[in-house]
Structure 1
Amino acid sequence: MKKIFIIFLTAGILSCGAHQKNPENADPMDYANSITSSELKDHLYIFASDEFEGRDTGEPGQKKAAEYIVNEYQKTGISHPEGMSNYYQTIPSEYFNGKFNDTENVLGFIEGSEKPEEVLVISSHYDHVGVDDEGNIFNGADDGGSGPVGILEIAEAFKKAVEDGYTPKRSILFLHLTGEEKGLLGSKYYTENPVFPLANTVANLNMDMIGRIDEAHAGNDNYVYLIGSDKLSADLHELSEEVNDTYMKMDLDYTYNDPDDPNRFYYRSDHYNFARNNIPVIFYFNGVHDDYHRPTDTVEKISYEALAKRAKLVFLTAWEIVNREDRIVVDKTQ
């Protein structure tokens, strides 16, 4: 009986292994193209609606937004990290010295097939600034809306690849951050209380405001500002450039990557808390517009084609990071 059991066990292992295919043999554009402007629009029209009350940190609207993200992951079949009881990393009010209510980072996760301990973090904040004293709702369609719906589509694309047998070699954490508008507090909390060791976090791709077209690129939906790609890793910067050249051929604008740029955007979004822990980062950004932190940052002003292109670029960059033989090399310091 023991010999028969071993034979069946071995056959079962081989059968499971046969289902797993090498992602290097896949065309990632097959999955990138599942990221569509129409699906992004469907998500954002809900996510940046009045129902979510501006998604202010710790307030009911932010809780509804977190629940929406979780429901979408459950529909897609993407789970939370195994060591967590649910999708929420709760940040207690005490962490904010009582200034804000308890709030939550939301985490989706796909485990890698070959190097599961190595983790790529794809992030964006989903909070915004809420409602003012006059009852005006700050919907934050671009700021805090475009990024998280982009992550949902990127996660779904990776899940489709997994269903076809192309599980990424490294793990991917889809990290929706709270409290960014209060001072990058959600990402600060995560990096102080990481679900996966920071030493095993190979890179962070962060999106914040990726749904609009700024004045400098009027009429051009085929650009994105990149910030930080070369700050800690020449390897990451070169990979990013090569992925774009191969698949998307977007105009990569490094204006705000200049150390002397007075806007200092490198220090102003959630990627920075990863960078300050020597984790290589890329910050994807559409530039500034007059609706920033105003009630006029609404869904009808989003360029959904631009949003889709930027989300595809992030997906394709992530695909290369998680499936290449070697992890990203850190060759510079903060």
Structure 2
Amino acid sequence: MKKILILSFAVSLSFLSCTSQQKLAEPTKNSRDTYITSISSENLKKNLFVIASDEMEGRNTGEPGQKKAGEYIISQYKKMGISYPKGADSYYQKVPSEFMKKGFAPKLNDSENIWAFIEGSEKPEEVLIISAHYDHVGMKNGEVYNGADDDGSGTVGVMEIAKAFMEAKKAGHGPKRSILFLHVTGEEHGLHGSRYYSENPLFPIANTIADINIDMIGRRDNINPNDNNYIYVIGSDRLSSDLHRMNEEANKETVNLRLDYKYNDRNDPEQIYYRSDHYNFAKKGIPAIFFFNGIHDDYHKSTDTPDKIEYDLLAKRAKLAFALAWKLANSENRPVVDKDGK
């Protein structure tokens, strides 16, 4: 009699435990839409008017203005309660001047990548990278090249995505995989910061499941002056059919942007696939996707200022990157590598 009662009690406990786990797991699966709404055009604007201010002197690689912008980025991560990654001793990954030496180009000062980290709850050893470069081209003839779109927009987008994930974590819905928020330096001078990280990774390349790269997402380009609902998607299908599919699903489930693959065409003369930081990850066999709004008249000019950013559109594009990151961080399997990268 006692044995039967004990067995019955154990079965009941097991059932209750399974039921409880299902109740806990379900919000994790469906709560994306709660946290995606925390990505706000107001907060993006507040941060971008600092990052792309004249005070930052165009954020040229290794110069005081870029370092000041980096200090601001770190201050925001501290406010969010997001620390630097395990295994690091600060928010900085130093990128030496010598590493960035390139031909006869002017020598650059030592600079830094900036990283922040949210550890995964179930597969912490697997890491998703969300990247953007925070440098620009500095000052020319006394004029500040603010780089609001290039790539202030991506910089603040990554920060806002991190905030949304941290809110989810605080509510008990943190990502199953770890996420490294990586602000890279030296992009304008040759993709140096992302190349340095890819060659000196904090986490093994084999454990890095994908890179979501965001470079210029705050404006419309000259091809789409009347379209406020598009984004160029580059590279998503070069290494992984899963990554491409997951992005299209994330878009349909959330913001419904028009996904434009013009610059992903292997024959496109601009060859933009090779021109931003995602490529240094793709070269290592890491599935990579690049979100981009295209070239406009203020590209690499002193007129690329924060007052010209369309903040509602910037928020919508950042939400797509967040939705994709949510899928990648929480899916049962990491995206398969089934393409040759070309």
The alignment's TM-score, normalised by the length of structure 2, stands at 0.90
Please tell me whether residue 67 in structure 1 is matched to residue 75 in structure 2: no
1:92-124 CA-partner distances (Å, limit 9, x unpaired): 222234811110000000000110000000000
1:127 aligns with 2:131: no
1:327 aligns with 2:325: no
**Structure 2 Cα separation of the partners of residues 150 and 29 of structure 1:** 17
Match of 1:95, SS?
Answer: helix
1:297 aligns with 2:304: yes
Q: In the TM superposition, what whole-angstrom CA distance separates every residue of 1:107-146 from its partner, at most 9, and x where no partner exists?
A: 00000011000000000000000011x2011000000200
SS at 1:277 equivalent: coil
Name the CA distance, whole Å, in 2 between partners of 1:115 and 1:176.
Answer: 23
Q: Which residue of 1 aligns with 2:29?
A: 25
Q: Percent identity?
A: 59
Give the aligned partner of residue 14 of structure 2.
Answer: none
Root mean square deviation, CA, Å? 1.6
1:272 is the counterpart of 2:279: yes
Contact (CA 8 Å) 2:149, 2:216: kept in 1 or not? yes
Correspondence 1:38 to 2:45: no
Residue 201 of structure 1: aligned partner: 208
Residue identity in the other structure for 2:136:
H
Residue in structure 2 matching 1:139, options 130, 134, 146: 146
Matched, 1:100 2:99: no
d(CA) in 1 for partners of 2:100 and 2:288?
Answer: 26
The correspondence of residues 224-235 of structure 1 with structure 2, limited to 5 A, is: 224-235=231-242
Instruction: Summarize deviations over 1:250-269 as a string: whole Å, max 9, x none.
Output: 10000110000000000000
Where does residue 85 of structure 2 map in the other structure?
Answer: 81
2:196 alignment partner, one of 189, 200, 205:
189
Query: Does the Cα contact within 8 Å between 1:226 and 1:257 map onto a contact in 2?
Result: yes
- Match status 1:284 vs 2:291: yes
Q: Which moved more, 1:218-227 or 1:169-178?
A: 218-227
Aligned to 1:116: 124
Q: Which runs of 5+ in 1 are unaligned?
A: 1-13
SS at match of 2:88: coil
User: Match for residue 163 of structure 1?
Assistant: 170
Q: Which residue in 2 is equivalent to 1:91?
A: 95
Query: What is the CA-CA distance between 1:245 and the residue it aligns to?
Result: 1.0
Quick one: distance in 2 between partners of 1:191 and 1:164? 32
Corresponding residue for residue 180 of structure 1: 187
Structure 2: unaligned runs, 5 residues or longer: 1-16
* Whole-angstrom distance in 2 between the partners of 1:330 and 1:177: 25
1:250 aligns with 2:257: yes
* Secondary structure of 1:196 counterpart: coil
Tell me if structure 2 keeps the 8 A contact 1:119–1:200.
Answer: yes
For residue 76 of structure 1, what is the amino acid of its counterpart?
M
Mapped to 2, the partners of 1:217 and 1:170 lie a distance apart of: 36
Q: Does 1:47 align with 2:51?
A: yes
d(CA) in 1 for partners of 2:123, 2:202: 17
Counterpart Cα distance in 1 of 2:275 and 2:178: 27
Structure 1 segments of 4 or more deviating over 4 A?
Answer: none
Matched, 1:221 2:228: yes
Distance, in Å, in 2 between the alignment partners of 1:85 and 1:37 is 33
- Pairwise CA distance, 1:26: 3.2
2:148 counterpart letter in structure 1:
A
SS in 2 for 1:216: coil
User: Which residue identity is paired with 2:52?
Assistant: A
> Structure 1: which amino acid aligns with 2:84?
H
1:30 maps to a residue whose letter is T
Partner SS for 1:120? strand
Aligned-partner Cα distance in 2 for 1:33–1:61? 32
SS of aligned partner of 2:143: coil
Shift in Å at residue 21 of structure 1? 4.3
**Paired residues of 2:222 and 2:297 also in contact (CA < 8 A):** no
Equivalenced residue count is: 317
Report the TM-score when normalising by structure 1.
0.92
